């Protein structure tokens, strides 16, 4: 699972225990504005994030 936040970060978590998701990595911090959208490609290999700083970032997931 991944989520964007108004502190411009994107965080990845293991959601196999939904009531207590475990952080997977350090937060991604390359946006300069609120991280407003997060999507994972159907094959699970690419994470796309968008921000109100008018950028979209593509990263290798995992």
Q: Where are the domains of the chain?
A: 2-60
pLDDT given for residue 62 in this prediction: 66
d(C-alpha 45, C-alpha 1), whole Å: 13
Contacts of 2 by beta carbon, 8 Å cutoff, 6+ apart = 10, 11, 12, 13, 38, 40, 47, 49
Alpha-helical runs (H) found in 1-62: none
pLDDT given for residue 41 in this prediction: 93
pLDDT tens sequence across 28-52? 999 999 999 999 999 989 999 999 9
- According to DSSP, the β-strands at 22-23 and 56-60 are unpaired
């Amino acid at each position: 699972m991944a989520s964007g936040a108004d502190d411009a970060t994107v965080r990845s978590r293991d959601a196999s225990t939904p009531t207590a998701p475990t952080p997977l990595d350090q937060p991604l911090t390359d946006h300069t504005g609120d991280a407003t959208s997060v999507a994972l490609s159907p094959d699970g290999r690419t994470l796309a994030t968008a921000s109100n700083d008018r950028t979209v970032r593509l990263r290798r997931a995992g």
